Amino acid sequence: MTAATRAIGAPLARLEGPEKVSGTAKYAAEYRQENMAYGWVVPSPVPHGRLRAVLADPSADAIAVLWHGNAPELAAADDPELAVLQSDRISYRGQPVALVVAGTLEAARRAAQVLQLDIETLPHEAVLRTDHPEVYTPDTVNPGFPAESSAGDVDRALAEAPVTVDVTYTTPALHNNPMEPHATIARWDGDDLTVYDSNQHPSGVAATLATVFGVDRVHVVTEHVGGGFGSKGTARPNAVLAALAARVTGRPVQVALPRQAMFSLVGHRTPTIQRIRLGADTDGVLTAIEHQAWSQTSRLYEFAEQTAVTTRHMYAAPHRRTGHRLLRLDMPTPRWMRAPGEAPGMVGLECALDELAEQLSLDPVELRIRNEPHTEPETGTPFTSRHYVDCLRAGADRFGWWGRDPRPRQQRDGDWWIGTGMAGATYPAMAQPSTARVRDLADGGFEVAIGATDLGTGARTILSQIAADALGVPTGRIRIRIGDSTLPQASVAGGSSGSASWGWAVTEACRELRRTGGAEAVFDTTDLIAKQEKEGRHAFGAHFAEVRVDAVTGEIRVSRLFGMYAAGRILNARTARSQFLGGMIMGMGMALHEEGVLDPALGEWINHDLAEYHIPAHADVESIDAAWLDEHDDQLNPMGSKGIGEIGIVGSPAAILNAVWHATGVRVRDLPARLDKILPHLPT
Amino acid sequence: MRLTVNGSEHELDLDPRTTLLDALREHLGLTGAKKGCDHGQCGACTVLLDGRRVNSCLILAIAQQDARVTTIEGLGGHPVQRGFLEHDGFQCGYCTPGQICSAVGMLGEVERGWPSATGDDDPLSDAEIRERMSGNLCRCGAYPNMVPAIREAAGR
């Protein structure tokens, strides 16, 4: 480091906090435009078919009704879901088949409601199953891993192992549901397109819209984003529809998705079916690990969730095998949701390990410690840093784990069965090419500009801390500009890679400015990142949960939840803690509440709103805390940081499920653990 | 129609189907109240109507011509706002105006002696705050930081 770190790590309050608590922070749909019209998306009422014609009610007050019969032709983007209103083909229920544009929101909605669609309905399939004849192995799984891996002889090792586990866990469709629905306001000035859009990647959305509309100048403004959790990582149909409608009508157009539309239109986490087989010696040393995962994708687009990839580096075992299978269905395309792959995959692996600990009568923490690898088990790559065992031990100390009676259904307080459970956590430490620009404002201040975005992660604040240290000045002298595609291009706020990627570019630009003593410096990290090893880079952690299960009703309460992490240098203690807790709370939702309930006949998740798709509410969150080890890793990036946005949801659901078993003796292997799955197995 | 918002009276010519939320956001430029679901399920649109907390997406603007509407923009440095800043009671900020307005309304309910939700002796115990605030969803999971923010704003 060229500068002593003073700002990095400090619990600096969010720079945009005053705007957010006073209601003046502006989100995409809040940039008023002169003469603005409103677009309302008409979703397909069938999962598979052909749209023959659209009949608009002339008494409805619409400016335009766009559908494939009259919509202008768009150039293909690399995402077929952005080819909106381009074809008569209907690939899933909820797919946009028309857009109604009107002068007011009320008129647009009404005109959409009375629009008549002439549709030829075709047969559909909506249910993921492992024995479907069309199940196939994809070439790769996200974001480019081999679909299968193998070492040694798993079958023989399992046959010879004195202790084995062979279990199947399933996770349902999960829906990102950021509080701010996806929204866009688009305006054309000649061939210049300006969009105010809620997304995680303004540079990427600008490039996509430029391709789709065949224009050079696209300006994406993304100052504040009301959460994304993966669902805003790329341009979504609302952005294309708004720009399309604005082009046709010659007016600025707002398209804000209703909550219900988000369940099908912006991505979701695929359901998974996971079979895990473990073989171990009687002392708990693993000899074999197998993790096979099935997930679904759509007819439009192959999205291959990397469910079993985490299993490749988590624990040592000489004989190992992982695999992924996909099934195309007449359903919406799954996309990224917080810790895609890791979150569902670690439910399977970490719950299976708990079942192994039960068979061995071994403490689950001790079981994990006995299977700690020295290098990445499948690649042999050394870890840049791995303090998993330290997290297990420190977490167990802090939680008060030791001395726990391993037997289930032993602790009772009135009507409540009480149990504790734990699970490991991990997430890859990644960085992606970005460019930052720093200017000496000559008044003692410095402007730091990068096309990054802050979804609530604290990016704006953290980048100011990084810049302050790199320049050797207090944070008060840094003026941060992000959230705009005209700024130097930045990578997506995803994969827990934002701070590492953008902070790296900012650091180098600041160093360059100091080196040259000039008024401006620009730095692109593409070459530096290309030279970097990709493997052996992970954050680790451990989650501990205490649950109370009502013996009469089966109600499950998470009375304590604790996360202990080793995630490199923590850049801002205040926002980091909030992010860890937020991930853990979403993990609680995954364990206990969240489930897209499929109606196979309709090809739709029937609980597509926030009254019926339950996410954790205030009253669900009782005692919860997070802590971290002081981890130093100088092989990652100049800050020594690992991403922290996703690790909180990895393993926390398994910790809760394992605690539910410890409390009740009931293994719930199909998520979420609702009371109706517990109640029949409780003693009367 | 007439709307009185944050002490100012506005004359508006609106479609009678316009909700109070859309009147605020689309016609008065008061975008502090957020649209998270438009169905009264998330609480992001919470405003105060004559001091009571309501989901403004479930109310027609035309029916509120005699009411006093207070939005987040009209709270003017309320202790709950300061508490949220102090305790990092938000991340993305989208549910935040609704949470804050809801908390202000909730503290008024406690002051007026509305019955307890949990049966706790203390009407502002942490469990009680959580229960009374459960109509306001936060997907970032900032709940644990909001509770002390609200408790301290109430002088506890």
Token pair in block for residue B43: 């609480």
Cis bond before residue A143 (omega within 30° of 0):
yes
A585 touches chain B (CB under 8 A): yes
Q: Which amino acid is at A601?
A: A
A23 touches chain B (CB under 8 A): yes
Assess whether A436 and A424 both reside in one domain: no
B102's enclosing H/E stretch is helix B96-111
Domain annotation covers residue A119: yes
Q: Would you kindly state where each structural domain of chain B is located, as residue ranges?
A: 2-74, 79-153
**In the listed set A248, A265, A282, which residue is the last one of a domain according to the structure?**
A265
**In the listed set A510, A530, A550, which residue is the last one of a domain according to the structure?**
A530
Assess whether A107 and A164 both reside in one domain: no
Assess whether A308 and A352 both reside in one domain: yes
Assess whether A425 and A436 both reside in one domain: no
Number of independent structural domains in chain A: 3
Assess whether A291 and A257 both reside in one domain: no
Assess whether A150 and A61 both reside in one domain: no
A615 touches chain B (CB under 8 A): yes
Token pair in block for residue A560: 């304590």
Interface contact flag, B95 A18, Cβ < 8 Å? no
Interface contact flag, A456 B92, Cβ < 8 Å? yes
CA-to-CA dists, residue A539 to A164, A310, A428, A479, angstroms: 29, 12, 6, 30
Q: Identify the CA nearest to A540 among candidates A406, A350, A669.
A: A350
Interface contact flag, A22 B72, Cβ < 8 Å? yes
Tell me the average pLDDT across B138-153.
98
Nearest residue in B to A228, CA atom: B92
Chain A with chain B: Cβ pairs closer than 8 A:
175
Of B44, B93, B144, the CB nearest to A624: B144
CATH code of the domain made up of B79-153: 1.10.150.120
Interface contact flag, A611 B129, Cβ < 8 Å? no
**In the listed set A483, A505, A530, which residue is the last one of a domain according to the structure?**
A530
Domain annotation covers residue A1: no
Domain annotation covers residue A366: yes
Domain annotation covers residue A568: yes
Specify whether the CB–CB gap between A115 and A129 falls below 8 A.
no
Q: Residue A348's domain is classified under what CATH number?
A: 3.30.365.10
Token pair in block for residue B52: 């009571």
Domain annotation covers residue A229: yes
Between CA A531 and CA A417 the distance in angstroms is 54
Domain annotation covers residue A519: yes
Assess whether A209 and A357 both reside in one domain: no
Specify whether the CB–CB gap between B120 and B128 falls below 8 A.
yes
Specify whether the CB–CB gap between B38 and B55 falls below 8 A.
no
Enumerate the residues of chain B whose CB falls inside 8 A of the CB of residue A258.
38
Angle at A168 between CA A164 and CA A174, to 5 degrees: 145
Between CA A247 and CA A66 the distance in angstroms is 12
Q: Mark out the alpha helices in A282-432 (DSSP H runs).
A: 311-314, 342-360, 364-369, 388-399
Between CA B141 and CA A367 the distance in angstroms is 31
Domain annotation covers residue A8: no
The side-by-side arrangement of strands in the sheet containing A253-256 is A62-67, A96-102, A37-43, A253-256, A183-189, A192-197, A218-221
A611 touches chain B (CB under 8 A): yes
Enumerate the residues of chain B whose CB falls inside 8 A of the CB of residue A25.
93
Interface contact flag, A106 B36, Cβ < 8 Å? no
Interface contact flag, B143 A616, Cβ < 8 Å? yes
- What residues are paired with A321 via a beta bridge? A150, A290
Enumerate the residues of chain A whose CB falls inside 8 A of the CB of residue B137.
179, 610, 615, 617
Interface contact flag, A180 B17, Cβ < 8 Å? no
Domain annotation covers residue A624: yes
CA-to-CA dists, residue A566 to A349, A542, A640, angstroms: 20, 9, 12
Assess whether A259 and A314 both reside in one domain: no
Residues of the domain holding A376: 140-174+269-429+535-681
A137: closest CA of chain B, how far (Å): 34
Beta strands in A409-457, from DSSP E residues, in sequence order: 411-413, 416-428, 435-440, 446-449
Assess whether A515 and A541 both reside in one domain: no
Assess whether A159 and A184 both reside in one domain: no
Between CA A193 and CA A218 the distance in angstroms is 5
Confidence of residue B53 (pLDDT cuts 50, 70, 90): very high
Exposed (0-12), middle (13-18) or buried (19+): which is A622, by Cβ within 10 Å?
A: middle
Best mutation target among B91, B100, B126, B133 (most A Cβ atoms within 10 Å) is B91
CATH code of the domain made up of B2-74: 3.10.20.30
Between CA A17 and CA B85 the distance in angstroms is 6
Q: ipTM more than 0.90?
A: yes
Cis bond before residue A237 (omega within 30° of 0):
no
Between CA B102 and CA A510 the distance in angstroms is 43
B139 touches chain A (CB under 8 A): yes
Average pLDDT across each block of 10 residues of chain A; the chain has 684 residues. List them in order: 72 98 98 97 98 90 96 96 97 98 97 97 98 98 97 98 98 98 98 98 98 98 98 98 98 98 97 98 98 98 97 98 98 98 98 98 98 96 97 98 97 97 98 98 97 98 98 97 98 96 98 97 98 94 98 97 98 98 98 98 97 98 98 96 97 98 98 96 87
Best mutation target among A16, A19, A22 (most B Cβ atoms within 10 Å) is A22
Assess whether A503 and A399 both reside in one domain: no
Assess whether A450 and A526 both reside in one domain: yes
What are the residue numbers of the active site of A?
646
Of A25, A105, A178, the CB nearest to B22: A105
